[in-house]
Amino acid sequence: MFLQRENPSEYPRRILVAVTGLSPQIVTETLYALAVAPESGMAFVPTEIHLITTRSGAEKARLALLSDDPGWFHHFCRDYALPPIAFSPANIHVLQDAQGRPLDDIRSPDDNRHAADGITEIIREFTADPDSALHVSIAGGRKTMGFFLGYALSLYGRPQDQLSHVLVSEPFESSGGFYYPTPVSRVLELPGGRLVDSASAQVTLAELPFVSLRHGLPEALLTGRASYNETVEAARLGLAPPELHIDLGGRRIRAGGRAIALPPAELGLLSVFARRALNGEPPLQAPSKESPDLAWKRRYLVEMRWIDGPLG
């Protein structure tokens, strides 16, 4: 039995997921706001970090965050004495095109479609683990990447999952050399020669509430692989008013967006119940196996004549 925890920080697997472009500093900025200076006073220290990006974004993130020098992620963890966080080049997920090649950028409708599918699958996989809590940042990357990431969380997210955008005070927001507010003074030179102290920067998170559509998705989409469009369509069907169309002459029904052929016997029985529901009539008592039920017989034969004709 799965026990729902109230606080995301209580989950054994805590995952920070972010989309990044050519500004990998949103990782350390978001990490600062979550783990060092949370506005709620309740720190969320990830056990692992995952980035979703393009080929050029992955290279910049690897060099800026994970290299020996400058290695800003390692600097950050040392400055604030954080516990070990799993974050390596293997945790940088590069979006792919139709041929499985890394995307350099997202410029065409085809690129958008494959980026959406890749992002959706990553979020589906992480949310399939009941012991995980996700914090998803849409601060980096192209706007379409942030939209797909936020929408994927809306499709698959659970009560313990959160969505945010990081906010950095001026003039640090536009500084390529700023990665987080340092615990001691560190002077940065901005374009134009202005000097600022990174220790004075303010970093906050704008939490973005989202509506979870997870319970409207079929179990097959929660546990298996599906495209972004398939998942969105399933959510739409799940939220739509239930409808049942019965085609007696064609011997088929349409339910949940699917056409299903039925043998006459099963179709006739379903039609008995559907017709009564349509007319607002009460439920029927199941007939006894031992004694004939003429009322049931009449109802059933009416439907069978519609399906098979009088000589069927």
pLDDT: which is higher, 3 or 41: 41
Banded model confidence at residue 49, pLDDT cuts 50, 70, 90: very high
Same domain, 72 and 157: yes
Confidence of residue 222 (pLDDT cuts 50, 70, 90): low
Q: Is residue 12 part of a domain?
A: yes
pLDDT given at position 2: 47
- Please give the residue range of the domain that contains residue 294: 244-308
Average pLDDT of the chain to the nearest whole number: 88
2 in a structural domain: no
| pLDDT of the residue at 219 | 63
Segment 257-297, tens digit of pLDDT: 778 999 998 999 999 999 999 899 988 887 777 778 888 88
Percent of the chain clearing pLDDT 90 (strictly above): 54
**Do β-strands 187-189 and 13-19 pair in parallel, antiparallel, or remain unpaired?**
unpaired
The verdict on 31 and 121 lying in the same domain is: yes
Lowest mean per-residue pLDDT among 79-83, 133-137, 143-147: 143-147
The pLDDT of residue 17: 97
Whether 107 is covered by a domain: the verdict is yes
Per the structure, the count of domains in the chain is 2
* 75 inside domain: yes
Residues 283 and 229 in one domain: no
Domain assignment present for 1: no
**Spatial distance between the Cα atoms of 259 and 252, rounded to a whole number of angstroms:** 7
Cα separation, 310 vs 312, whole angstroms: 6
Judgement on whether residues 285 and 199 belong to the same structural domain of the protein: no
Using a pLDDT cut of 70, give the percent of the chain over it: 91
**Tokens of residue 22, six digits:** 């050519």
Residue 280 CA to residue 288 CA, distance in Å, equals 24
pLDDT tens profile 147-164: 999 988 988 899 999 999
